[in-house]
């Protein structure tokens, strides 16, 4: 592993206090909707993601990073406020933390209040009533949030069928020449961000720009050329495409979000346990990959612009998915569960001069075209079409396998930029504007980048033994499909029509599934929850799950009821109930 000079890092940390405002680091905060770590840089050699791989090679990549709830708004609200869903009281796609919980200072707001220009582009907060119908402007942002003009077509029939008919389908490769508006939201949002960066390069004020990509969220609408990278003959099914034995139904999602699309509806898949036909599972997996490469290209354009406008050497770049995504694993689709595959995300942090050597000739992030034969190609890696870019397996950046959480991001970014770092929230923090329920990742970053004389510090370092997530349910069994007020609403519909959302009301939550991942295990309890008083009742347990990674890495066999594991389950239950506070890496209040 390369050891980089720590002095530069210290300089970066000291920048805001020691030097003038103009040398304060900028922040490019990249968030990708529904992106699980299905990326070349996470070892998925079938994936063509050359730009994100390049960012990873110049960043610290977190290999075991988890969100606090596997659905957009609760997850985003959590990492943007630095607090967990129980404290934001946002478990659905409707509630706004400022209304239901407290007037918390968000991460972009913290930058704004410290003299930064802050801008939201695309999906950073969940739009609509979940962010006060303004994407939390003006609290969080200097300017109103930007949304691409073509966003309004997302819920519309834009997918051409072979007979020319247009549908609103999950699988939706399009021709940019004929698609309404002549473009797609992520392309237009990227254009805006590039113009924003250009403007910033001229006025020299520090900025925080949140760039939120929509794909690979459903519908998989992307320029059809990306399908060429993923011939169906190369696509495989999930290794475990069946309902896990001994899985309590409360743990399962019936993937309503997917069932609403025309192509899926036409298959008459029985509710709630009917399976997507195998050939269509392959098509969905193919399109998830194609939509990911399309997003990779837009990420590449933004990174390339940082170079072009001379901003790369003073900009911290962060990258994260808002939760994972099930592609047929456990016969499930979408997110909305507590499985590892739904809560684990890609997460990386690039610190100029620290996680990568300064660029030669100002080119830190030259754009990489997925379709061009490139130096990255490794014949042994595989791929039938040798003209496509493949991950360069020897091109590795720094990485950490520490158990980390998206809620840790707030304190981390604040510390890296030299702003005040929030301290740990007290038990009841609804009236505390500035505090966090995460922990700064800076000790891990230092541990990776420090030089060898600091070995002593390194040995003494401890980190969290466990990470925590949760997911609510209205009932023990999946409810009728016609029962519309649900936790699994179609997010795209919502994004377009915030007012419709609020009229639907809040999800009738009666159960909360609290889950914990440790080194060796995942342990989950589904317990009674009163939404009126926001009170969990730990004595009323509906179901438990226990997975043992050494023998069951894909969480296929729930052994919570196996007699031999009762002592283990009991001790994990105590650890889960003690919660995140007991798992903090250093003593706190
Ligand atoms: C919320 O806090 C902001 C500053 O952080 C303040 O301007 C605003 O008035 C507060 N709103 C309420 C309703 O307390
Ligand atoms: C860039 O600056 C120009 C000129 O001030 C302005 O018209 C435009 O709206 C700005 N664009 C962005 C994305 O900030
Ligand atoms: C689905 O059901 C509809 C109406 O019951 C029927 O017309 C159609 O043929 C069915 N499609 C398939 C693929 O079974
Ligand atoms: C892969 O990356 C390594 C490290 O950056 C570089 O030295 C090597 O030349 C690259 N290989 C190819 C085939 O591009
Ligand atoms: C490989 O992909 C390129 C670019 O799409 C295409 O032109 C070429 O025909 C493909 N080659 C093979 C062998 O599939
Ligand atoms: C916070 O809550 C925990 C558990 O409910 C309790 O043990 C602890 O004493 C509380 N701390 C304070 C300062 O109230
Ligand atoms: C700190 O670094 C050491 C040596 O590289 C490594 O073994 C250890 O896992 C790291 N600890 C954490 C918590 O990242």
Of 335, 521, 439, 405, give the one whose Cα is nearest residue 66: 405
Domain presence at residue 455: yes
Domain presence at residue 589: no
Q: Reduce the secondary structure of 132-198 to three states and give it as a string.
A: CCCCCCCCCCCCCCECCHHHHHCCCCCEECCCCCEECCCEEEECCCCCHHHCCHHHHHHHHHHHHHH
Q: What is the rounded average pLDDT of the residues 337-354? A: 97
pLDDT band per the 50, 70, 90 thresholds, residue 372: confident
- Report the C-alpha gap between 186 and 150 in whole angstroms: 9
Q: What is the rounded average pLDDT of the residues 133-139? A: 98
The pLDDT, as a whole number, for residue 505 is 61
Q: What is the rounded average pLDDT of the residues 94-106? A: 97
Number of domains in the chain: 1
Q: What is the rounded average pLDDT of the residues 353-359? A: 85
Question: What digits encode the pLDDT tens for the residues 284-315?
Answer: 999 999 999 999 999 999 999 999 999 999 99
The CATH number of the domain holding residue 477 is 3.40.720.10
Domain presence at residue 167: yes
Question: What digits encode the pLDDT tens for the residues 522-546?
Answer: 999 999 999 999 999 999 999 999 9
Report whether pLDDT(414) > 70: yes
Say if strands 326-327 and 333-334 run parallel, antiparallel, or are unpaired. antiparallel
List all residues 6 or more positions away from 567 whose beta carbon is below 8 Å from its beta carbon.
none
Percent of the chain with pLDDT over 90: 79
- Which residues are bridge partners to 44 per DSSP? none
For residue 60, the SS3 value is strand
Determine the structural domain holding residue 142 and report its residue range.
Answer: 6-583
CA-closest residue to ligand 3 atom 2: 268
Task: Strand 117-122: give its sheet, edge to edge.
Answer: 117-122, 207-213, 26-32, 315-321, 344-350, 60-66, 398-405
Q: What is the rounded average pLDDT of the residues 156-184? A: 96
Report whether pLDDT(373) > 60: no
Residue 388 CA to ligand 4 centre (angstroms) = 16
Domain presence at residue 567: yes
Query: Closest ligand 3 atom, CA of 267?
Result: 13
- Report the C-alpha gap between 320 and 36 in whole angstroms: 9
Torsion of CA 297, 67, 399, 453, to 10 degrees: 140
The pLDDT, as a whole number, for residue 39 is 96
The pLDDT, as a whole number, for residue 25 is 97
CA-closest residue to ligand 4 atom 3: 395
pLDDT band per the 50, 70, 90 thresholds, residue 216: very high
Domain presence at residue 1: no
Q: Which of 103, 138, 141 to mutate to test the pocket of ligand 1 (most atoms within 8 A of CB)?
A: 103
- Which residues are bridge partners to 400 per DSSP? 62
Which residue of the set 72, 159, 425, 435 is catalytic? 72
Whole-number average pLDDT of the chain: 89
Residue 278: count of CB within 10 angstroms of its CB: 10
For residue 398, the SS3 value is strand
Question: What digits encode the pLDDT tens for the residues 552-568?
Answer: 999 999 999 999 999 99
Residue ranges around ligand 4 (CB below 6 Å)? 375-376, 392, 394-395
List all residues 6 or more positions away from 565 whose beta carbon is below 8 Å from its beta carbon.
546, 548, 559
Residue 334 zone, left/alpha/beta (φ > 0; ψ -120 to 50; rest):
left
pLDDT band per the 50, 70, 90 thresholds, residue 394: low
pLDDT band per the 50, 70, 90 thresholds, residue 462: confident
Residue 149: count of CB within 10 angstroms of its CB: 11
The pLDDT, as a whole number, for residue 473 is 95
pLDDT band per the 50, 70, 90 thresholds, residue 360: confident
Domain presence at residue 551: yes
At 462, phi and psi to the nearest 5? -120, 155
Question: What digits encode the pLDDT tens for the residues 30-63?
Answer: 999 999 999 999 999 889 999 999 999 999 999 9
Q: Which tokens sit at 220?
A: 């998989």
- Which residues are bridge partners to 30 per DSSP? 211, 319
At 201, phi and psi to the nearest 5? -65, -20
Candidate ranges 76-85, 438-447, 496-505; pick with highest mean pLDDT? 76-85
The pLDDT, as a whole number, for residue 479 is 75
DSSP tag of 480: P
Which residue of the set 41, 110, 126, 217 is catalytic? 126
Report whether pLDDT(496) > 60: no
Q: Which tokens sit at 34?
A: 């529904």
Is 323 marked active-site? no
- Report the C-alpha gap between 34 and 321 in whole angstroms: 6
Domain presence at residue 206: yes
Q: Which residue has the tokens 């505390």?
A: 432
Report whether pLDDT(6) > 60: no
Any atom of ligand 7 within 6 Å of the Cβ of 461 = yes
The pLDDT, as a whole number, for residue 392 is 60
pLDDT band per the 50, 70, 90 thresholds, residue 17: very low
The pLDDT, as a whole number, for residue 485 is 36
Residue 435 CA to ligand 2 centre (angstroms) = 34
Domain presence at residue 482: yes
Question: What digits encode the pLDDT tens for the residues 416-460?
Answer: 999 999 999 999 999 999 999 999 999 999 888 876 556 666 777
- Report the C-alpha gap between 569 and 528 in whole angstroms: 19
Range with the lowest mean pLDDT among 175-179, 183-187, 439-443, 481-485?
A: 481-485
Is 126 marked active-site? yes
Q: What is the rounded average pLDDT of the residues 122-140? A: 97
The pLDDT, as a whole number, for residue 23 is 77
Query: Closest ligand 2 atom, CA of 193?
Result: 13
Residue 463 CA to ligand 7 centre (angstroms) = 9
């Amino acid at each position: 592993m390369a050891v980089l000079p720590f002095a530069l890092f210290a300089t970066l940390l000291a920048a805001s206090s020691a030097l003038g405002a103009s040398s304060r680091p900028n922040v490019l905060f990249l968030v990708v909707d529904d992106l699980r770590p299905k990326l070349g840089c996470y070892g998925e050699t079938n994936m063509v993601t050359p730009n994100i791989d390049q960012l990873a090679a110049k960043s610290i990549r977190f290999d075991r990073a988890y969100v606090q709830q596997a659905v957009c708004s609760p997850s985003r609200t959590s990492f943007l406020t630095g607090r967990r869903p129980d404290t934001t009281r946002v478990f659905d796609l409707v509630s706004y933390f400022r209304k239901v919980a407290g007037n918390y200072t968000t991460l972009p707001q913290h930058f704004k209040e410290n003299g930064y220009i802050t801008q939201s582009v695309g999906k950073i907060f969940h739009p609509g009533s979940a962010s006060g119908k303004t994407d939390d402007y003006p609290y969080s942002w200097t300017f109103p949030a930007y949304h691409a003009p073509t966003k309004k077509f997302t819920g519309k029939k834009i997918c051409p069928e072979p007979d020319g008919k247009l549908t609103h389908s999950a699988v939706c490769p399009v021709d940019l020449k004929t698609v309404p508006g002549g473009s797609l939201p992520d392309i237009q949002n990227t254009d805006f961000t590039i113009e924003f960066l250009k403007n910033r390069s001229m006025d020299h004020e520090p900025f925080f720009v949140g760039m939120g990509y929509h794909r690979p969220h459903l519908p998989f609408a992307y320029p059809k050329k990306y399908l060429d990278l993923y011939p169906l003959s190369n696509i495989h099914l999930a290794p475990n495409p069946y309902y896990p034995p001994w899985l309590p139904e409360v743990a399962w999602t019936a993937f309503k979000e997917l069932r609403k699309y025309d192509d899926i509806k036409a298959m008459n898949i029985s509710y709630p346990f009917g399976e997507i036909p195998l050939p269509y599972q392959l098509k969905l997996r193919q399109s998830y990959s194609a939509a990911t490469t399309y997003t990779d290209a837009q990420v590449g354009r933004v990174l390339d612009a940082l170079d072009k406008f001379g901003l790369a050497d003073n900009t911290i770049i962060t990258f994260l998915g808002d939760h994972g995504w099930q592609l047929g694993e456990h016969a499930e689709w979408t997110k909305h569960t507590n499985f590892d595959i739904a809560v684990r995300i890609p997460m990386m942090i690039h610190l100029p001069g620290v996680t990568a050597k300064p660029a030669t000739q100002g080119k830190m992030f030259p754009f990489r075209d997925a379709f061009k034969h490139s130096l990255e190609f490794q014949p042994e890696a595989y791929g039938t079409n040798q003209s496509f870019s493949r991950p360069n397996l020897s091109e590795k950046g720094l990485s950490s396998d520490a158990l980390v959480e998206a809620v840790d991001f707030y304190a981390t970014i604040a510390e890296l930029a030299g702003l005040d770092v929030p301290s740990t929230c007290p038990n009841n923090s609804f009236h505390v504007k500035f505090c966090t329920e995460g922990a700064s990742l800076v000790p891990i970053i230092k541990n990776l980048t420090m030089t060898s004389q600091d070995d002593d510090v390194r040995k003494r370092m401890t980190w969290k033994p466990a990470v925590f997530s949760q997911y609510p349910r209205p009932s023990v069994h999946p409810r009728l499909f016609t029962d519309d007020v649900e936790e699994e609403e179609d997010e795209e519909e919502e994004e377009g029509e915030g007012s419709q959302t609020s009229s639907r009301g809040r999800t009738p939550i009666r159960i909360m599934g609290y889950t914990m991942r440790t080194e060796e295990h995942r342990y989950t309890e589904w317990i009674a929850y009163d939404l009126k008083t926001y009170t969990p009742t730990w004595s009323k347990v509906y179901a438990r799950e226990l997975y043992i990674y050494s023998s069951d890495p894909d969480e296929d066999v729930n052994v919570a009821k196996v007699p031999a594991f009762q002592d283990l389950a009991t001790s994990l239950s105590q650890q889960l109930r003690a919660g995140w506070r007991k798992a903090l890496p250093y003593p706190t209040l």
